Chain A
């Protein structure tokens, strides 16, 4: 008999939770701190910095005039498998909270760059085989004594902020069904609200609320309505049961309206002609009551989508703006289907939409009154039908999950787009077979680039409905953005460059090569009177469908002008117990 050990898979992941050095007592983040996060200029307390998701730092030390003097202050390697970084760090009370691939969490003293504690979750074997797009994690949430992280296998974990030990954990779902979690939790009042991925596995999307103190499940709100619920009639037969509409991009909240907004992703299967109808609320922005999960309204971007244009990517931004003489409580989103939408966030009313990329051809147009998009049926892949190409944009979208940013002083939203097309060929209907944990009805697919330049960083004037500037990139862009009151926009590219752009002119003023592709989102914070900018660098996620992972990376970079790194007796190296005992006479 051949030795089984040759192909046996042994062992389980290890968990390493440890307090590396003692922490002083920390000021807790409470609900009013989150509601008033904008007034807290120095800190970055939640995924989008503020509930409106503007990713706008009020800090002004670093400006177009002096950004050329910005240099790295320190860096930190997140190590592990170097499987890609997509996170937005948080900064509170002198500590950076950083999530890395596989939802590993680091609390790092921002003065010294030394790890205060780290959390490395343990997973069941086989999880990687049901994760479509890499073991990414996009961020954390803070409230009270806890740092919240959603693990790749859907567990929601509350870590004690002082030492990283687990206070409680709640299992949201069975990962074996193809449900995974990659997004940052959102804390609203005493609710921790989370979503999930898995739209390619035939799941039914939902968001859930857990009690922030205890982890008790409070409510579940499905994005795909069940029988008797409004919208269920847009699904033939029982197709709603496996209709997708997943919720893998973190939502946002308006404290004044007390509305929670969360996007729903693509419908499943990709074959749209087996689920004829609008397929609500797939590819939609949905407003929920944050205390009950009840749906208040929804707006659908791409009805009966056969293109995988997740409507939840990226999360929208809340702005107050005057358009055509009317003051509007608006939300603005550059959607994966290639259009930028402005909606009234009080009621979901459509205001306007504009294309963000050239050559969009999946639609015959968007109704200027209702905002409803009509699919060009000559571009619609029919089950078992011929291949259709080139469809613009590619299923990765005119843009994707990476967050946009907004400068309220200028009225500009900044976002990254990609110019690319695709071939789709829908599989025959008989090949769409639901098996839990297996891909459910994916089209045959090929991506095409369309020109010398691939990605663009763009500035759009929301009130005046016009593009202001664009910065081309020879490679695709999958990084989020940061806008600052100092007049800068920060973002990164797949070549590894982290860059500062003049928010008014679009001139690239500063670049730094981080060593690996940037697929994460920058933040800015103030420490001891000094402004810092931080970004994670490490190729991963969807770009690995198109690039080799080399050069691999997994680094947190921190920049400033004349930044300060304090010396510390602490160390980021972890001694092996007993390896070098103290010699005793």
Chain B
């Protein structure tokens, strides 16, 4: 199970089944284990509405259109966890507020359709 991240240390705990499925070498790209799974997509939709929609809206807004993201699974994960400087203000680091599973499910949701 992935734990939420407490103030200021490590973003993910490496005991997740999702994590282990991702591979064991530094060279291997992490893949979202929830892609195409209906239940995870529904959960991801709820989390998107709760965490993402004010900025990313139905098809982009203050933040880019996530439904058209060109980020790889792993890049998406990294950006959500760590945040980054954006063109419309910084993307906050959600690694302190969302679990790895939450993020993967949001990713599964946005990859399942072309708009909210």
Contacts and interface: CB of A to CB of B under 8 A. Distances in A.
Interface string A519-561: 0000000000000000000001000110111100000000000
Interface stretch (A225-233, A363-371, A437-445): A437-445
Interface string A1-16: 1111011111110000
B61 interface: yes
Nearest to B19: A2
B4 to A, nearest CB: 9
The DSSP consensus for interface residues of chain A is loop
A124 interface: yes
B92 A427 contact: no
Interface in A110-136: 124-126, 128-132, 134
B66 interface: no
A125 B8 contact: yes
Interface string B78-96: 1001110011111011111
B71 to A, nearest CB: 13
B26 A545 contact: no
B97 A130 contact: yes
A81 interface: yes
B50 A2 contact: no
Given A9-B95, A544-B88, A549-B88, A125 B62 contact: no
A2 B87 contact: no
A129 B92 contact: yes
A539 to B, nearest CB: 9
A433 interface: yes
A174 interface: no
Interface stretch (B10-18, B32-40, B104-112): B10-18
A81 B87 CA distance: 13
Interface residues of B, number: 44
A438 B87 CA distance: 24
Contact of B81 (A9, A83, A130, A439): A9
A200 B62 CA distance: 16
A133 to B, nearest CB: 8
A307 to B, nearest CB: 16
Residue of B9, B28, B50 contacting most chain A CB atoms (<10 Å): B50
B61 A545 contact: yes
Contacts of A130: 97
A298 interface: no
B77 to A, nearest CB: 7
Contacts of B92: 126, 128-129, 131
B110 to A, nearest CB: 16
Contact of B26 (A3, A12, A433, A442): A3
Nearest to B51: A438
B8 A11 contact: yes
B49 A439 contact: yes
A445 B97 contact: no
Interface in A217-267: none
Nearest to A124: B7
A435 interface: yes
A205 interface: no
Contacts of B46: 431, 433
Contacts of B14: 1, 4
Nearest to B77: A7
Contacts of A11: 8
Contacts of A128: 83, 90, 92-93
Contacts of A540: 89
A185 interface: no
B82 A548 contact: no
Nearest to B59: A446
Contacts of A549: 86-89
Contacts of A550: 87
A433 B97 contact: no
Nearest to B100: A7
B89 A9 contact: no
A134 B51 CA distance: 15
A10 B97 contact: no
Nearest to A2: B26
B89 A544 contact: yes
B26 A8 contact: no
A129 B93 contact: yes
Contacts of A7: 11-12, 77-78, 81-82, 95
A545 B87 CA distance: 10
B96 A439 contact: no
Given A2-B23, A427-B49, A549-B88, A8 B54 contact: no
A8 B83 CA distance: 11
A8 B10 contact: yes
A84 B89 contact: yes
B59 to A, nearest CB: 9
B2 interface: no
A439 B48 CA distance: 10
Contact of A12 (B8, B28, B77): B8
Contacts of B78: 6-7
B58 interface: yes
A83 B94 CA distance: 18
Contacts of B57: 444-446
Nearest to B6: A125
A519 B24 CA distance: 49
B116 interface: yes
A89 B79 CA distance: 35
A398 to B, nearest CB: 21
A568 B18 CA distance: 60
19 contacts: A2-B25, A7-B12, A9-B10, A10-B9, A83-B89, A84-B89, A125-B96, A129-B92, A131-B92, A134-B89, A435-B50, A437-B97, A439-B49, A439-B54, A442-B49, A446-B58, A545-B55, A548-B87, A549-B86
Interface of A: 1-4, 6-12, 81, 83-84, 124-126, 128-132, 134, 200, 427, 431, 433, 435, 437-439, 442, 444-446, 540, 544-545, 547-550
Given A126-B7, A128-B93, A544-B62, 7 more contacts: A4-B11, A7-B81, A7-B95, A125-B93, A431-B49, A545-B62, A548-B88
The 3 closest A-B pairs by CB, nearest first: A126-B96, A438-B50, A128-B92
